[in-house]
Structure 1
Amino acid sequence: MSTISHPALGSLRGVTFASTIQYRNIPYARFNGRFKEATLSDGPISSSGTVYDATEWGPLCPQTKNGIKFDFALAGVELPHIDDYRMSEEEGLNAVITVPKDIQAGAKLPVIVWIHGGYWVVGGNSWPQYDLQNLVELSIRLGSPVIGVAFNYRLGVAGLLASEDLESNGNFGIKDQVLGFQWLQKHIAGFGGDPSNITAFGESAGAMLLSTLLQLSSALFNKALVMSGSATLRPSKTELQQKALYNDVINHLNLAENTAKERVEELSTRNIESIISSLPPLLHVGPSLEPGFLDEIVTLETISEKTTPSWCDEIVIGDCFHDASCFKTRVLNHENNAAYFIACIESVLEPASAQAIINSYHIAASNSPEESLVHCMELLTDLRWYLPILHFALDQKQGSSTAISRYHFHQTNKFDCQWKGLAAHLFDITLLLQNHSDLLQDDDLKLSKDMAERFLNFAYGRGFVSEAEGGSEGNVVVWGPNGHTKIVSADEYDEMLRNGRGRLLRSLGWETCEELANALQFGPKK
């Protein structure tokens, strides 16, 4: 155990590792009640003469039990974990801070902040696959030490439900993260971190959340790594859409016949875990339009304009070649995927364009179910992940000062799971965060090290693509396959590794592509 005397927080006792100290369950925000905004936690957390015990994991924000199993299923392998994670509304807004040992007085180390994914409904900073301790240890060995931070934030109905009944726009989970970054700016210097050099990174729902934070006017961090997600993947909901979601929640809770006052009373006082257990486990929640906070819906047309604020110096955005693997149960689970996809394509596109898409993605009803799954997955990945990256990188608003870099992940999963042989959703995080090293093969370990080094260089302001490699402008980092890292031009990447499909989709126009993606997810256009 090791103790730090923080100038504002007081004395804290953390867990000591080989070259790091980890401080857990640090409250960064004060819970003010369900469906209410939290406030910044400020001032000491230990009283005079006492030491705050930061050696135990804090509770998760309330969520579906065993949500960690969803995450492990995407990665294809499990890590040792707690069987029953503690949850708490009042104490869930906590941070984990991992710092190098023996930081010199006055040090100002770069800070990396992880925003976990989990469909906006599950996840937490105590999950072993999201622990930053190994990544911070590696940063020290590489001579580029950083401080790692991970926040919990409110999830599901507790974090995002909006309605007139509740007199709420939701967005609580997003505003929790805003408070987290504000807390960091005030307090990370006491841990040896530089509040003017903060790099945020998130994957899947964490990337969607990060992309949402980039729409705000307040400066929260300096650099961002947006991995396998953007604001277009789950854009801000309109009032009508949130009303429909609220009605679904009310129906699941058997409150449809109650008065508005009775519904609010029940939602506000019933045990939150009881509410969550009565709802579908992967409820389709999302942010709300809110004047003065989230003013507009981000589309493929507006993504670069709305998510490249002047206060963020540099953004890296990328995807996995088979990111739509995470949509298997929701979209890619038809008796005949190819027939369904062809029907959707033909319901939206003119015959020539429809045939061009069908041919380019090799979608045919005669394919085996395994072939159909992969080909349909590639189309859905390109529409929901790759195309937003192209718009983001290639259609940046004129005069923007934000530097944009890109990567694409093609390393295939080798675990004995349903995603074996595919560059599936979440496998990039499995490599980057260094928590599966004992389970990885040599080429995975080689790529894992390059990913971490490149990310740490980015956090240090050295660029995602070095000048010796040609710099980021016009170039793309390709991770995998076979453990190799390549730097290629954007056009070369699309032709060689995407078979010109980005160019084909962009030729259809963003509105048509949005319409096609919606048809694939929700059914053929009527």
Structure 2
Amino acid sequence: MVKLQTSFGSFKGIRGDGVVQYLGIPYAKVKDHLSAPATVECYEGVVNATKYGPRAPAADASLFEQQVLIQQVMDDAPSPPMSGTECLNLNITVPSSLKTEAREALPVMVFIHGGGYIMGSNSAPYFDPCRLAALSVEMGTPVIVVSINYRLAVLGNLTSAELRAVGYPGNNALRDQKCAIQWVNGHIAAFGVAVLTQLFSKKPLFKRAISMSGTPLMLKPLSLDVAESTYQAIIAALGLNDASVEERIQRLISIAPEELVEKTAMKALLAPFLDDDVLPEAITFEKLASGLDVPGMKWCEELMIGDCRHDGNVTFFMGLGSRTQNLAADLYTSLSASLGAASAIAVLEAYGIRLSTSDDAALQATIDLATDIVYAAPALSLAQAWPGKTYAYHFNEGNPWEGQFKGMATHMLDAAFLFHNYNERMDKGVKDIARAFARAVVAFANGMVPWREFDEDHGSVKIFGGGEVDRMVGSNGWANGRRDTLFRLAEEGKVDLDGLSVAWDKFLAGN
């Protein structure tokens, strides 16, 4: 064990291979499950930071993401217990070879796990940052890595008029994230961070942002009406339709995490909502094209953004997998209802989908469409709109492990490669891809130029893997590295990208 004395408290950590870790440190306090967080400023006594803290009440994602998305299980140990009030904790991984005074000038990478606001935790073994921190020392550009937990699902995003009226503002997931970033700002000098939804903050939060296979255009904020409908559905699931407001709130702030998870439908719409505060507006294709004015696009100096070649495979597990029979016909019916028949036909034919297309062929083409509208097109649009320095990448290395999507650059694979925790299960060529990607991310976090800057005229997108270890795409970079199908359709006036994005969400939801 290692003991660290700071101006805000004493911490007992654990020594690993080339690093010291301080785990489960509370960064915020809450009065109850649904209250807004308050940053912890100082600590009494010695904080035992030798094991992971509780995770947020939500479906346990660890085995699912390993078995289904990554297709390789490295650790099947039980996840930490859940808690609605003790889950606001973070882990700090520090290179152990550096003297304490030298650490004060290091950049800090704050890792905010994904999971669509409904699953995930900072204890996921595949995101353990020990090897990434050790690599940063080997490079001569050491970084500290902070991984955070934040409230998810019902406790993270549930809202209603009656909750707001009694002092529960909602959007706890975003408030928790912001609170964690402020904790880091208050205790560590300079850092880079991976999240885009926090760009609405008027106060500068971070210098650099890394967006890996996910943008605010994918997880659209809910309207107040939709959020209210979700609240009523949760109330009904808990048997509280006839309860008073006081009884409902008391139940929500005292319910056992296990019961809450059991009674929350996986398809419940529990994304952040438009509250005219932490999330005042939605980011759309149209706004990005016309010059979106978001505070963070001024104070965040640099953006690294990219996608995986087959990111859309994750939609197979988000509803598409249950729609494979008569897929072409169902997709045509759904898109026609949302976009009109002409736009629906234009989109589907551009992806080779016709009513006569077999289910297997339609499935692959639909995953391609999902990849483009949910991941690739939003990433490019953000890269083009970003006013500061931008570095874009394509992760093309195929999944090396047995499973449904072997050989495809599937969703989450870039993050899995980044942390180096699967290196023993890779051949040398694949490990070289992982190492090249991780080195670029560490360089970016240190304020260095990871590769040639992206610009709309010359492209300059970095390619990782797919037989191209170190190639830059030049002129018309994104179109050469990914399909430009949707952009061509939009330019020809055959489809509106925002309309198609909403239509896709409706289809995936079963409408």
TM-score (norm 2): 0.91
8 Å CA contact 2:339–2:499 kept in 1: the answer is no
User: What is the rounded CA distance, in whole Å, between the counterparts of 1:508 and 1:246 in structure 2?
Assistant: 41
User: What is the rounded CA distance, in whole Å, between the counterparts of 2:47 and 2:246 in structure 1?
Assistant: 41
Pair 158,348 (structure 1): closer, same or farther in 2 beyond 3 Å: closer
Number of the residue aligned with 1:199: 192
Q: Counterpart amino acid of 2:43? A: P
User: What is the rounded CA distance, in whole Å, between the counterparts of 2:54 and 2:342 in structure 1?
Assistant: 55
Q: Counterpart amino acid of 1:424? A: T
Q: Counterpart amino acid of 1:221? A: F
Number of the residue aligned with 2:56: 61
Alignment of 1:465-504 (within 5 A): 465-466=451-452, 474-482=459-467, 484-489=469-474, 491-494=476-479, 496-504=480-488
SS at match of 1:310: helix
User: What is the rounded CA distance, in whole Å, between the counterparts of 1:395 and 1:309 in structure 2?
Assistant: 9
Greater shift in the superposed pair: 446-455 or 382-391: 382-391
Q: Counterpart amino acid of 1:57? A: Y
Q: Deviations over 1:203-261 (max 9, x none)?
A: xxxxxxx2210122121111011111111112221110110111111121122233333
Pair 325,369 (structure 1): closer, same or farther in 2 beyond 3 Å: same
User: What is the rounded CA distance, in whole Å, between the counterparts of 1:484 and 1:365 in structure 2?
Assistant: 39
SS at match of 1:5: strand
Number of the residue aligned with 1:204: none
How far 1:505 sits from its partner (Å)?
Answer: 4.0
1:373 to 349, 357, 363: 363
Alignment of 1:29-44 (within 5 A): 29-44=28-43
How far 1:350 sits from its partner (Å)?
Answer: 6.7
Q: Counterpart amino acid of 2:53? A: G
Q: Deviations over 1:76-98 (max 9, x none)?
A: 12121422521222321111001
2:78 to 61, 76, 83: 83
Q: Deviations over 1:233-290 (max 9, x none)?
A: 1222111011011111112112223333332222222223312211123533111222
8 Å CA contact 2:343–2:494 kept in 1: the answer is no
Alignment of 1:202-221 (within 5 A): 210-221=195-206
User: What is the rounded CA distance, in whole Å, between the counterparts of 1:71 and 1:111 in structure 2?
Assistant: 26
Number of the residue aligned with 2:309: 321
1:279 to 264, 272, 286: 264
Number of the residue aligned with 1:240: 225
SS at match of 2:297: coil
Pair 37,53 (structure 1): closer, same or farther in 2 beyond 3 Å: same
SS at match of 1:88: coil
How far 1:479 sits from its partner (Å)?
Answer: 1.7
Q: Counterpart amino acid of 1:432? A: L
SS at match of 2:147: strand
Number of the residue aligned with 1:71: 65
How far 1:124 sits from its partner (Å)?
Answer: 1.1
Q: Deviations over 1:114-162 (max 9, x none)?
A: 0001221221111101111111011112222110101111111111111
8 Å CA contact 1:413–1:422 kept in 2: the answer is yes
Pair 239,362 (structure 1): closer, same or farther in 2 beyond 3 Å: same
Matched, 1:410 2:404: no
User: What is the rounded CA distance, in whole Å, between the counterparts of 1:257 and 1:180 in structure 2?
Assistant: 37
Pair 389,324 (structure 1): closer, same or farther in 2 beyond 3 Å: same
User: What is the rounded CA distance, in whole Å, between the counterparts of 2:455 and 2:279 in structure 1?
Assistant: 37
How far 1:395 sits from its partner (Å)?
Answer: 3.6
Pair 9,329 (structure 1): closer, same or farther in 2 beyond 3 Å: same
8 Å CA contact 1:242–1:288 kept in 2: the answer is yes
Q: Counterpart amino acid of 1:30? A: K
Q: Counterpart amino acid of 1:83? A: P
Alignment of 1:80-229 (within 5 A): 80-107=75-102, 108-167=105-164, 168-188=168-188, 195-196=189-190, 198-201=191-194, 210-229=195-214
How far 1:453 sits from its partner (Å)?
Answer: 0.9
Matched, 1:394 2:384: yes
User: What is the rounded CA distance, in whole Å, between the counterparts of 1:56 and 1:84 in structure 2?
Assistant: 12
User: What is the rounded CA distance, in whole Å, between the counterparts of 1:212 and 1:24 in structure 2?
Assistant: 25
Pair 302,464 (structure 1): closer, same or farther in 2 beyond 3 Å: farther
User: What is the rounded CA distance, in whole Å, between the counterparts of 2:41 and 2:416 in structure 1?
Assistant: 34
Number of the residue aligned with 2:420: 434
Q: Deviations over 1:3-56 (max 9, x none)?
A: 22222222x2211122111111111111221211111111134x2xxx432211
8 Å CA contact 1:97–1:147 kept in 2: the answer is yes
Number of the residue aligned with 1:305: 292
Q: Counterpart amino acid of 1:444? A: V
User: What is the rounded CA distance, in whole Å, between the counterparts of 1:434 and 1:316 in structure 2?
Assistant: 19
Paired residues, what number? 499
User: What is the rounded CA distance, in whole Å, between the counterparts of 1:481 and 1:416 in structure 2?
Assistant: 17
Matched, 1:515 2:499: yes
User: What is the rounded CA distance, in whole Å, between the counterparts of 2:271 and 2:155 in structure 1?
Assistant: 11
8 Å CA contact 2:460–2:477 kept in 1: the answer is no
User: What is the rounded CA distance, in whole Å, between the counterparts of 2:54 and 2:338 in structure 1?
Assistant: 46
8 Å CA contact 1:344–1:516 kept in 2: the answer is no
User: What is the rounded CA distance, in whole Å, between the counterparts of 1:3 and 1:472 in structure 2?
Assistant: 52
TM-score (norm 1): 0.88
8 Å CA contact 1:301–1:391 kept in 2: the answer is no
**Structure 1 residue ranges without an equivalent (≥5):** 189-194, 202-209
How far 1:330 sits from its partner (Å)?
Answer: 3.2
Q: Percent identity between the aligned chains?
A: 28
Number of the residue aligned with 1:26: 25
How far 1:514 sits from its partner (Å)?
Answer: 2.4
Q: Counterpart amino acid of 2:403? A: C
Q: Counterpart amino acid of 2:292? A: E
How far 1:317 sits from its partner (Å)?
Answer: 1.4
Number of the residue aligned with 1:206: none
Q: Counterpart amino acid of 2:81? A: R
